[in-house]
Amino acid sequence: MALSRLLASWPALRQLREGDPLGLGKAVQSPRSKHLVPRLDEAEHVVESICPYCAVGCGQLVYVKDGDVTHIEGDPASPISRGRLCPKGQASKSYVQSPLREYKVKYRRPYGTRWEELSLDDAMEMIAERVIRTRAETWRKQTEDGAPANRTMAIGNLGGATLDNEENYLIKKLMTALGIVQVENQARI
């Protein structure tokens, strides 16, 4: 058996057996080639998504296996994009898995010359404290002219056009309640 299998896989022999005397087609098809399965078909989930780059709003399908994105391509069902993507959209998987992606909080202390490690919990505590402190120190109930102000002009928040509506909603809601009015995004750029 072992011998016959070995012999059968010998190209010249297969060429004769399979009517491919020149060895151009089936006779030389390797087992891997014969049994190829596209990554798309091996995915555990396919998740409906939208391209994160420009505002055309192309539909994306995100293929997932073992908790990781294995491929992203256009969603043919979208009436806008009809399954197509531009180079940026098509590179979405490489973007979410960029070799330069950061996964840990980094902290630079005043006058520091390097990044330091910091836990996410500590970072959140520290940021919350700074917002509270700066706000308390710079709070203005009124303007110099005596008009109502209810704000701090010492804190700003920038960014939003790349974020979700729900995120923008929470940002504006929180900042407004904190009296932070300098909330801005890329609509200016």
Q: How far apart are CA 97 and CA 76, in angstroms?
A: 24
First to last CA, the chain: 71
The H-or-E segment that residue 68 falls in is strand 68-74
- Residues 111-130 binding another protein (CB under 8 A) are 111-115, 118, 120, 123-130
CA triple 117-120-121, angle to 5 deg: 120
User: Does residue 44 belong to the site contacting another protein (CB under 8 A)?
Assistant: no
- Contact between 63 and 70 (Cβ < 8 Å): yes
Total residues interacting with another protein, rule: CB under 8 A: 159
Which two structure tokens, joined as six digits, stand for 45? 């989930």
- From the CB of 181, what's the least distance to another protein, in Å? 5
- Residues 47-76 binding another protein (CB under 8 A) are 47-60, 62, 64, 67-69, 71-76
- From the CB of 117, what's the least distance to another protein, in Å? 10
- Residues 138-157 binding another protein (CB under 8 A) are 138-139, 141, 143, 145, 147-151, 153-157
- Residues 5-24 binding another protein (CB under 8 A) are 7-8, 11-13, 15-24
- From the CB of 6, what's the least distance to another protein, in Å? 9
- From the CB of 127, what's the least distance to another protein, in Å? 6
Q: Which residues contact 86 (CB under 8 A, 6 or more apart)?
A: 53, 54, 58
